Structure 1
Amino acid sequence: MPQTNLPVCVIGAGPAGLATARALRAKGLAYRQFDAGQKVGGIWDIERDGSPMYDSAHFISSKTMSGFAAFPMPDHYPDYPSNAQIQSYIEDFASTNDLASAIAFETKITDIEKLDGGTWRVTTDRGETTEFLGVVCATGTQWHPKLPDLQGQFDGEIIHSNTYRSTETFKGRRVLIIGAGNSGCDIACDAAANADAAFISMRRGYHFIPKHVFGKPADLFDHEGPNLPLWLGRPILTLLLRMYVGDVTRLGLPKPDHKLFESHPILNSQILHYLQHGDIAAKVDVDHLDASEVVFKDGSRETVDLIVCATGYSQRQSFARDYFEYRGDRPNMHLQIFNRAHRNLFGISHIETNSGAFKMFDQMAFLIANYLRDQIDGAQSAGRMDAMITGPAPDLSGGIKFVASDRHQGYVDSDTFKRHLDKVSKSLGWRTLSQEDLFAPRPQMGMAAE
């Protein structure tokens, strides 16, 4: 590890960046943190330019199963908090841990360069250039929208879902939503309740999971239930869902082309409600555009004047040059944390999973902090971590055969991933977060530049 007196650069002050800052501080590592926004929160700051947040957005995972380690969400929060409540919770987390004062806000990282000595030169849009011991990219996954290649000519308006904010967008219009992820289905529900006509186009069928099962949040119900092997648990839950949801093909939805859990399920009951009441109609994939009409692959046509593309995001980091290896549009790292070519360059938010991410960020952040600490101290465990990084990738699927899509390139089963991170930490003698870390003193070099 070169020049150990230098601080670590943390890029981003959303949930992953704040978890990283807390972990670095707990291990006595100096850092400087940068964020392009005006305050903490990342995508949850709905007022920030480029945020994909919209007025009706709520947390997909429940408050009970979410939140940072040693910092639960408030008891008065509903089962699925609103985006405003999540933003407030993130701000409280930063305030309680005295993290915000160490962040240079409204400062965008424009370039990082690996120097001959192994350190990093980081350049901001303010023209500031600083040398750092290492770089942690906690920039999130939903800033660079991907638009589909729609053939033909369209007289109406085409937007990506990351620019959608309010139901006012839909009033007096005929709206098509392309894409059926959780955000796409949320936005489709807004269109169903507010547009003159609403349609949702899906390339494939999905499994729909209600947000509550027997009166409990679905993820809490799963957590408190028996720990069944996949071969037994999946058919039981599939049967439960068939009883709860029924046959979705009668609503015009395509039959799922995969087994339960092999693709990210849709946690949304409202979209089924609107389909059942005719407030929105399901359509197959788009074939082409024809002036004021959209032509679908089954030959049907609909007159539309607004298309909303909920078609995902690229996770490529333009400021990082070619220092990351990509699989599709997603960084390909060991455990989606460790860069295989550069031992002091990390990612922490470039992961897709089937559960809440905040506690996962804590685990990932402490792996980074422990690894950097041991590199500086010359501990043998750092070398053992090196061997893991260059060794074979572990199977983090939990026995699930995920569908072959770009989104699932970095997908992991949450429980399997968490257990593996715990196993790695224990094998190297690394501890994870403890209560006293909430108020660990910040190293002086961690202060943001004035």
Structure 2
Amino acid sequence: MSASPAGSPAPSAGLPAAIVGAGPAGLAMARALRVRGLPYVQFERHRDLGGIWDIDNPGTPMYESAHFISSRDKSGFFDYPMPTSFADYPSRTEILHYTHAFADAFGLRAGIEFDTAVERTEQHADGSWTLTTTAGPVRASALICCTGVTWDPRMPVVPGHFDGQVMHSVGYRSPSLFAGRRVLIVGLGNSGADIACDAAAAADAAFISTRRGYHFIPKFLAGTPSDQTEWLPIWGERLLYSVVRPLVVGDVRRWGLPKPDHKLFETHPLLNTQLLHYLSHGDIAAKPGVVRFDGPEVVFTDGSRERVDLVVCATGYDMSIPYVPPDYLPWTQGRPEMYLNAFAARPGLFGVSYLEVNSSAYTLFDRIANLIGEHLADLRDNPARARTFRELVRTDHPDLSSGVKFVDSPRHTNYVEVRAYKKNLHRVARLMGWTELRAGRFDPIRMTGAHV
């Protein structure tokens, strides 16, 4: 029997919380529970931790040339900075090394059941859960979904017949794929821009197709990573870049890219001026949207055609959670609806990582995990406050946009503006009387009993 979303049934005493996934979000959640002495079980279907940053993890969208688009000093877990020996914009191998070091520092690896996939889940009338895993059934007091947002690729439907190969970018790994081929990249998010740069350097001919124009932001301002301006209010950042971008980037229409149809930060800006380098040198050509396939050619909205051997669709992902029954969560345009993008209306169901944001994610994962940990501790120690919070989940509807009118697209359905998001996480913590993150809260020596 499934539990009703109404009310706040107390989890069965003695059962651990279940964390699904051992990528950055799952590790942040495990640390938050461990520091509170809350029992948990953690499942990872891959043989090792790291989530998408392990290029050998089946289904990961990772590719050899990938780097963080947020800078080293803004991108780490709370109270565990990335080493200064890392690049300003760390590579995928540096990020994976850092994630492993984080897990080892806080003694998290021993709590992970590797090579164990969660196939389906069911919540019972008492609020407890049964997880059906590849290793057998497991009972849990709560289900915390930490499996990320880039595992379910969204493919466009293009009419016509194409003689070449069509693939989603989730399957792209190496520029060697492009050698000796004429390549079209469809989509101009940050991953699409990265892959287009690989194609520009490796393919016989390279093209990038985009229906929408995007704002390009330089990666550095006065030698400093440009995301260091986050301390400014959003209107201040817009004012700054209104001065800087014309001087550093210029009008991208000269290279065939469309003019943006939105204000800066109404969709994710592109931190990839390397693409502009390749466009300006003729190593890749910009094309408008795709209309149809026609044998060996692709036809575009302006009537032009290009002979192409390979089409790579960098067209985004749906945020599926395949092991949770679809009626346990409301969904909008492939995005789950949760309070603060973390607390489901159904008691006992949580998510860490189900958001898009104009900033780095790791510290946000820590903040989210901290609040989930506080609520789970209340279920054990302060049931009255736990009930108060469930009422807040039902009635509170905060603005997480800072007034930014995000572009109307599936990707932006649960997009948050980082300043507004942090402000509301802080507001809720203060309102509930919860302990917020602070220096030394997650001391690895105290947690593991050994220097690391």
Alignment partner, residue 286 of structure 1? 290
Instruction: Return the offset for 1:125.
Output: 2.0
SS class of match (2:359): coil
1:235 pairs with 2:239: yes
Give the alignment partner of residue 197 of structure 2, picking from 189, 197, 206: 189
| 3-state SS of 1:266 partner | coil
Letter in 2 for 1:360: L
1:256-405 correspondence runs (5 A): 256-322=260-326, 323-340=328-345, 342-405=346-409
SS in 2 for 1:320: coil
- The SS at the match of 2:442 is helix
Instruction: Provide the secondary structure at the position in 2 that maps to 1:373.
Output: helix
8 Å Cα contact 2:196-2:275 kept in structure 1: yes
Matching residue's letter, 2:142: G
Alignment of 1:165-204 (within 5 A): 165-204=173-212
Alpha-carbon distance in 1 for matches of 2:92, 2:234: 34
CA distance in 2 between counterparts of 1:156 and 1:385 reads 55
Moved more, 357-366 or 112-121: 112-121
TM-score (norm 1): 0.95
What SS is found at the alignment partner of 1:152?
A: coil
Q: 2:47 aligns with which of 38, 41, 63?
A: 38
Instruction: After TM superposition, give the deviation of residue 285 of structure 1 in Å.
Output: 0.4
Question: Which residue of 2 is the match for residue 447 of structure 1?
Answer: none
The answer to whether 1:437 aligns with 2:442 is yes
1:441 Cα deviation after fit: 4.3
Indicate conservation of the 8 Å contact 1:18/1:94, yes or no: yes
Q: 2:221 aligns with which of 207, 213, 225?
A: 213
**Aligned CA-pair RMSD:** 1.2
Whether the 8 Å contact between 1:189 and 1:271 is mirrored in structure 2 is yes
Amino acid at match of 1:8: A
Contact 1:39 1:105 in 2 (8 A): yes
Aligned counterpart, 1:150: 158
**Aligned with residue 17 of structure 1, among 13, 20, 26:** 26
- Give the aligned partner of residue 101 of structure 1: 110
What SS does the corresponding residue of 1:154 show, helix, strand or coil? Answer: coil
Contact kept in structure 1, 2:212 and 2:260, CA below 8 Å: yes
In percent, how many aligned pairs have the same letter? Answer: 48
Q: Does 1:245 align with 2:249?
A: yes
- Equivalents in 2 of 1:260, 1:254: separation in Å? 14
2:258 aligned residue: 254
Output the CA distance in 1 between the equivalents of 2:408 and 2:270: 18
SS of corresponding position for 1:359? helix
Specify the code of the residue in structure 1 equivalent to 2:145. C
Q: Is the 8 A contact 2:149 2:318 kept in 1?
A: yes
Partners of 1:238 and 1:260 within 8 A in 2: no
- The one of 220, 230, 240 equivalent to 1:223 is 230
Q: Deviations over 1:195-235 (max 9, x none)?
A: 00000000100000111111110101x135xx3462x5423
Asked if the contact 2:25/2:146 (under 8 Å) is kept, the reply is yes
Instruction: Look up the equivalent residue of 2:123 and give its one-letter code.
Output: K
Residue 228 to residue 147, structure 1, CA distance change in 2 (3 Å):
closer
Mapped to 2, the partners of 1:309 and 1:229 lie a distance apart of 32
CA distance in 1, matches of 2:103, 2:187: 34
Structure 1 residues 189, 393: closer, same or farther in 2, change over 3 A?
Answer: same
Structure 1 unaligned runs (5+)? 443-450
Counterpart contact for 2:79–2:442, Cα < 8 Å: no
Per the alignment, residue 122 of structure 2 pairs with 113
Q: 1:74 to 1:441 in 2, by over 3 A?
A: closer
Shift, 1:2, TM fit: 2.7
Asked whether the 8 Å contact 1:11–1:35 carries over to 2, the reply is: yes
**How far apart are residue 35 of structure 1 and its match?**
0.5
> Distance in 1 between the 2:419 and 2:14 partners?
37
1:348 deviates by 0.7
Report if the CA contact (8 A) 1:175-1:197 is conserved: yes
SS in 1 for 2:193: helix
Contact conserved, 2:120 with 2:132, CA < 8 A, in 1? Answer: yes
* Deviation at residue 187 of structure 1 after TM alignment: 0.2
Shift in Å, 1:400 = 0.7
Given that 2:106 and 2:447 are in contact with CA atoms closer than 8 Å, whether structure 1 keeps it comes out as: no
Give distance in 1, aligned partners of 2:447 and 2:251: 56
Q: Which letter does structure 1 place at the counterpart of 2:129?
A: W
State the secondary structure of the residue aligned to 1:86.
helix
Partner residue in 2 for 1:135: 143
The CA deviation string for residues 235-293 of structure 1, in whole angstroms up to 9 with x for no partner, is 34223212210001111000000000101101101000001111000000000001100
Aligned partners of 2:64 and 2:173 also within 8 Å: yes
Is the Cα–Cα contact under 8 Å of residues 352 and 408 in structure 1 kept in the other structure?
yes
Do residues 7 (structure 1) and 16 (structure 2) align?
yes
Q: What are the residue-to-residue correspondences of 1:87-98 with 2, within 5 Å?
A: 87-98=96-107
